[in-house]
């Protein structure tokens, strides 16, 4: 019995390791961080008075150190950041709408060596020497209608929020700079671009130290499976204290459905949409040094993200870059890896004897092929205080994988339990697997863009700013 228990635990530990996302989604993307997508979120807004809206956000450039001056993180002017919306043909992985964001950097004349200087208490402050603006392009690929937006409905340029440097340079950051960087367009959409706290949470350090998990992981029982999880150092959020660059849009439901309706019947063919994010670069880059690089030709895909953990957990390392450049409509070519994942059949069952559902794993194929985040628009949003981090596994269908994906969804624990077969008939009693980290290090906002304000450089230290469990530095 003891030997059997040890073998089971070893198998579960190995399963957890393959679900460890690191925000580095392929070998080539290690060399191209401004195009490296981290996470995609798609959910019905629970903001008061705006529950008839859908929020889509993508994060790039993970693990941003908040005090990384004098040149802080920025969006690339040579990357096209794209939201793809699939709302027809049974969600086949072909885009029907696209929302593109393209950035432009202006280096304002100044005698200093820094990107930001002095007291910055406005998004129009002259101390923002590295000033980024962006355009939004909304395309209906079925009708050919294209709308371009360079300013908000009041004529203000769409500008990127500056970094949170600290109380002297960026006092009262969220009220003066964060909120002011949310812009409403003339078509009713809202947009945001700028630094935010990384809402992804996971004990990455324990996983990648050759499965050196901290108690009570990986089988969570009782209090360990409730609330925020174990306190540090028993469980450490490897993403705590770090920022990401976030692009977020909010759109009325009627703008995203094929027929412009707001469906109420889940059987309505317009009730579900699928979304994925992608980054693109022009196919030719010329570097006439010492002059600036020049970019030519059509846009080609560099990275994509639909569901969380797909490329990290299901796609073999030699194929990751190829997967990143491929399209969701062609994801059947990866069905052999997703429908019969090696770490389930070859490791958990073949090596450790853990009983897993037989291949083909139609439960996984139904989520990850094509790899798009699906959202049932008829599922009402759940207020923050009532949300379950386990989504449908916790009785909350407004979370991943059926109701989109919210920033608070514990996709690591949901993914672990899905791997163990919780979505397969006859395997509902799979062990309650998890990494012990059950919540983000800081609370989410209750309004768009929902990610918390970025951590401040001044308050960031290796001891406190990335302590893994929640000393807020924003």
pLDDT tens, 109-167? 999 999 999 999 999 999 999 999 999 999 999 999 999 999 999 999 999 999 999 99
Question: Model confidence at 24, in pLDDT bands (50, 70, 90)?
Answer: confident
Average pLDDT, integer, range 446-456: 96
CA-derived radius of gyration, the chain: 22
C-alpha torsion angle, residues 40, 42, 46, 48 (rounded to 10): 90
Q: Which residues have C-beta within 8 Å of that of residue 50, sequence separation ≥ 6? A: 250, 448
Could you count the other beta carbons within 10 Å of the beta carbon of residue 2? 6
β-pairing, 272-286 with 97-107? unpaired
Q: Which residues have C-beta within 8 Å of that of residue 318, sequence separation ≥ 6? A: none
Please check the confidence at residue 78 and state whether its pLDDT lies above 90. Answer: yes
**pLDDT value at residue 472:** 62
pTM (2 decimals)? 0.93
**% residues pLDDT > 70 (the chain):** 89
Three-state DSSP at 195 gives strand
The residues that bridge with 190 in the sheet, in sequence order, are 184, 250
**pLDDT value at residue 211:** 67
**Residue of 27 and 473 predicted with greater confidence:** 27
**pLDDT value at residue 465:** 52
Assess contact for 154 and 99: CB atoms under 8 A.
Answer: no
């Amino acid at each position: 019995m003891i030997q059997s228990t040890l073998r089971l635990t070893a198998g579960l530990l190995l399963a957890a390791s393959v679900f460890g996302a690191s925000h580095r989604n392929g070998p080539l993307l290690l060399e191209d961080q401004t195009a490296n997508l981290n996470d995609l979120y798609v959910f019905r807004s629970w903001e008061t008075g705006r529950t008839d809206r859908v929020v889509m956000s993508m994060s790039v450039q993970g693990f941003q150190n908040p005090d990384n001056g004098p040149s802080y993180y920025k969006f690339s002017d040579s990357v096209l950041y794209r939201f793809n919306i699939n709302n027809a043909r049974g969600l086949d992985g072909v885009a029907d709408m696209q929302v593109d964001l393209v950035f432009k950097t202006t280096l304002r004349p100044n005698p200093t060596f820094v990107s930001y200087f002095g007291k910055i208490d406005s998004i129009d402050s002259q101390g923002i020497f590295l000033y980024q603006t962006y355009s939004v392009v909304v395309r209906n690929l079925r009708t050919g209608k294209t709308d371009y937006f360079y300013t908000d409905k009041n004529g203000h340029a769409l500008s990127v929020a500056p970094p949170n440097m600290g109380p002297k340079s960026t006092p009262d950051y969220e009220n003066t700079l964060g909120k002011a960087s949310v812009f409403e367009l003339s078509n009713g959409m809202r947009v945001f671009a700028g630094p935010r706290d990384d809402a992804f949470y996971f004990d990455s350090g324990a996983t990648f130290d050759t499965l050196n998990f901290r108690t009570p992981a990986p089988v969570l029982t009782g209090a360990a499976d409730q609330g925020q999880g174990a306190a540090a150092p028993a469980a450490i959020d490897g993403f705590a204290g770090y920022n990401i660059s976030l692009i977020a849009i909010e759109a009325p439901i009627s703008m995203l459905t094929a027929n412009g309706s707001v469906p109420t019947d889940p059987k309505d063919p317009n009730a579900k949409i699928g979304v994925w994010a992608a980054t693109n670069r022009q196919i030719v880059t010329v570097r006439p040094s010492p002059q600036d690089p020049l970019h030519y030709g059509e846009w080609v895909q560099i990275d994509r993200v639909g569901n969380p953990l797909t490329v990290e957990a299901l796609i073999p390392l030699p194929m990751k870059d190829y997967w990143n450049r491929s399209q969701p409509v062609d994801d059947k070519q990866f069905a052999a890896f997703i429908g019969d994942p090696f770490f389930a059949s070859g490791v958990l069952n073949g090596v450790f004897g853990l009983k897993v559902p037989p291949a083909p794993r139609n439960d996984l194929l139904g989520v990850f092929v094509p790899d798009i985040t699906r959202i049932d628009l008829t599922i009402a949003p759940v207020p923050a205080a009532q949300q379950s981090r386990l989504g449908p596994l916790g009785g909350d269908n407004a979370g991943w994988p059926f109701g989109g994906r919210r920033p608070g969804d514990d996709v690591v624990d949901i993914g672990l339990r899905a791997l163990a077969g919780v979505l397969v008939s006859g395997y509902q009693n799979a062990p309650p697997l998890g990494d012990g980290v059950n919540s983000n290090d800081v609370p989410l906002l209750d309004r768009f863009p929902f990610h918390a304000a970025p951590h401040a450089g001044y308050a960031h230290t290796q001891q406190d700013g990335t302590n893994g469990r929640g000393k807020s530095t924003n």
